[in-house]
Structure 1
Amino acid sequence: MKKSFQMLTVIVIMLLAACSTDANSNAEESTSNKEKEVTANEETESSEGDKEDNKEENNKEDENIEEEPEAKEKVEKKYTLNPAFWGFEPIGEAKSDAVLLTIDDAPDEHAVEMAKTLKELDAPAIFFVNGHFMDTEEEKAKVKEIHDMGFEIGNHTMTHSDLKSLSEEKQREEIVKLNDMIEEVIGERPTFFRAPFGSNTDFSKALVKEEGMLLMNWTYGYDWNKEYQNKAAITDIMVNSPLLQDGANLLMHDRDWTAAGLSDIVKGLRDKGYSMIDPETIDTELK
C-alpha cells in the first residue's frame, strides 16, 4: 500500500512537470510569434517608407530634368571678320553679297521700335547697348525684349567713354561690368564688342579677347552727322554710299531719324541684291 502511494506520487509529479514544460514552450512560442509579427510589420513599414523616399527622389530628379535649359544648336559659321575694312568675308560657299546691320547706343528711345521693324522684315542685326541705358528695370526689360525677338546684344561700354582717356582699371569696369549686367538680364554674356568712337587700347583689346568677344568697328555710318539727320537723307546715304560693298559692316544708332528710315534702308539694300548677315553665323575666334 505504501509502495502504491509512492508510485502514484511519482506519476503525479511527472505529469505536473510535463504540463509545466508544455506551458513554458507554448509561452515561448507565442512570444516568438509576436516578435516575428512586430519585426515583419517594421520591415513592411520600412519598405513602404523607402518606396516613398525613392518616389520623392525620383520626382525631384524629374523636376531637375525639366528645369534644365535646352542646349543651343550649333550654327554653321559662314563669315569671318576682315579688320582691313571691318567687314566680313564669306567662308566656303556663303553669300558674298551680304552686309551686317548694327544699332549702337541702345536702348535709348527707339531700339525696341527698331527691333520690331527688323523683325517684321526678317532682318537680323546686333544691338550694341550702353550701361547707362540699362540702369532701370524698365530699360533692362527693353534689352530683354530685343533679345527675346532674336537679336544679338553687344557690349558698347557702361558710360560711352573714350577708352583711351581711362585707366586700365576703369576700362575693365566699362567692359566687364556691362557684360555682367547683360548676362543678368538675358542669361548670356555678349559675343560682340564695339568701343565708343571706335577708340580701343591695347588693354581693352586684350580684355575683350579674354572675355570671349569679337572686337569690331564699322565700314561706314552717317546718322550722327547733321546733314543726315532726317529720314530721306539717312536712307539715301546708307543705301547709296560709295563705301557700300560686299560684307560691309553698317553702323546706325538709336535715333528717331534712323528709326524712321530703317525699313526703307533694309528694302533699299535688298533691292541692290544684298542680304543681311546673321550675327550667329560670324566666326568670333580671330585666327
Structure 2
Amino acid sequence: MIYLKKGLFPIMTVILLVLAGCSDEEPAQQVTEPETRETEEPDTVEVVPADRPAAEEPDEKVKEDVSEPLYEMNPNTFSIEPIGEADPQVVLLTIDDAPDKRALDMAKTLKELEASAIFFVNGHFIDTEEKQGVLKEIHEMGFLIGNHTQTHANLKELSEEEQRQEILTVSDTVEEITGERPRFFRAPFGANTEFSKRIAEEDGMLVMNWSYGYDFEKAYMTREKIAEIMVNTELLRNGSNLLMHDREWTADALEEIVLGLREKGYEMVDPLTIKGVSD
C-alpha cells in the first residue's frame, strides 16, 4: 500500500499543474477584451477629420459666386447697372487726384464705414517715397487704384505718343508700388480720345467718366456745401457714378456723404463686382 501511494504522487502532481494552467488562462482572456475595446474607441474618433474636406466645399462655392460680376457699366452714361437680381439701389464712389492731400484720411474714413471706392491716381503725386507709401497703404486697405494720367493733361491736346506715355507710365508705376495694374482709367476733364480709349482698353482698363460731381466748383468748397449737394442733388439715382477729389473739404465731408446716401437707401458698390474688372 505504501508503494501505491508513492506511485500516485507524481500523477497527482501533473493533475494539479494542469488545473493551475487552466486557471491562469481565464484572466488573460478577460484582460484582452478591454484592451480591444480601448483600441477601437480612437478609431471612431478619427472619423471626424475625414469629414473636414467636405465641410470646406461650401466655402469654395461662395468664392465662385462672389467672383461672378453683379454689375456692368453703361458705356454711354457710365452709370452702374445690375446684372440679374443684384441690388439696383447702389452708387459708385470715385476719388480723383490721389494721393494729393487727404487721400489716406479718406481711405481710412471709408474703411471704417465699410464703403468701397476707387482712388484715381496722378503719376506726379507718387514721385516720392512718402507718397508711394501712402498709395501702397490705400491699396493694402482693399481699395482699387485707378489711372488718372501722369500729369493731369488734356489728352485731346497731346500727340498719340504723349497720350501713351501719360497713361502707361502711371500703370507701370502703380504696378511697381502695389503689385497690381490699374483696372479703371479716367481721363482728366473727361477728355478722352479714340486713341486714349484704345490704349486704356489694351492695358486691361475700363474707361469711365462720371454721373455728377461738384467739389471742384468754388460754390461747393466747404464741408457743409459739398455734403449737401452730393446727397441731395436731383442727379442722384440708381447706379450714379459719383465724382469726388482728394480735397480738404471733401475729406471732411466724406463720412456725412456716405451716411447721407445710406439714409436714402443707397449702398456703395464694390468695384470688383463690375463686369470686366475681375480676372
Match of 1:202 among 187, 194, 198: 194
Q: Deviations over 1:88-117 (max 9, x none)?
A: 110011000000000000000100000000
Residues 10-34 of structure 1: per-residue CA shift (max 9 Å, x gap): xxxxxxxxxxxxxxxxxxxxxxxxx
In the alignment, which of 266, 273, 276 is matched to residue 274 of structure 1?
A: 266
- Matches of residues 126-137 of structure 1 in structure 2 within 5 Å? 126-137=118-129
Pick one of 140, 155, 165 that aligns with 2:147. 155
Q: 1:257 aligns to what? A: 249
Q: How many residues align?
A: 215
* Deviation (angstroms), 1:170: 0.4
How high is the sequence identity, in percent, across the aligned residues? 61
CA distance in 1, matches of 2:64, 2:218: 43
2:168 pairs with 176, 188, 197, which one? Answer: 176
1:83 aligns with one of 75, 81, 90 = 75
Q: Structure 2 matches for 1:11-160, cutoff 5 A?
A: 75-160=67-152
Task: Provide the rounded CA distance (Å) in 1 between the counterparts of 2:117 and 2:256.
Answer: 15
Letter in 1 for 2:112: E
Question: Which secondary structure state, in structure 2, belongs to the residue aligned with residue 135 of structure 1?
Answer: coil
Deviation at 1:284, TM superposition (A): 2.1
Displacement after TM superposition at 1:75 (Å): 1.9
Please name the residue that 1:26 is paired with.
none
User: Quick check: which has more Rg, 1 or 2?
Assistant: 1
> Please, which runs of 5 or more residues in structure 1 have no aligned partner?
1-70
Output the aligned Cα RMSD. 1.5
Matched residue SS, 1:283: coil
| CA distance, structure 2, for counterparts of residue 215 and residue 73 of structure 1 | 25
Render the CA deviation track for 1:37-57: whole Å, top value 9, x for unaligned.
xxxxxxxxxxxxxxxxxxxxx
Unaligned runs of 5+ in 2: 1-62
How many angstroms apart in 2 are the aligned matches of 1:282 and 1:180?
Answer: 23
Partners of 1:193 and 1:201 in 2: how far apart? 12
CA-to-aligned-CA distance 1:189-246 (integer Å, 9 cap, x gap): 1100000000000100111110010000000000000000000100000000110010
Look up the SS of the partner of 1:264 in the other structure.
helix
Residue in 2 aligned with 1:223? 215
Rounded to whole Å, the distance in 2 between the matches of 1:280 and 1:190 is 12
Paired residue type of 2:81: E
State the shift of 1:86 in Å.
1.3
TM-score, length basis structure 1 = 0.73
- With normalisation by structure 2, the TM-score equals 0.75
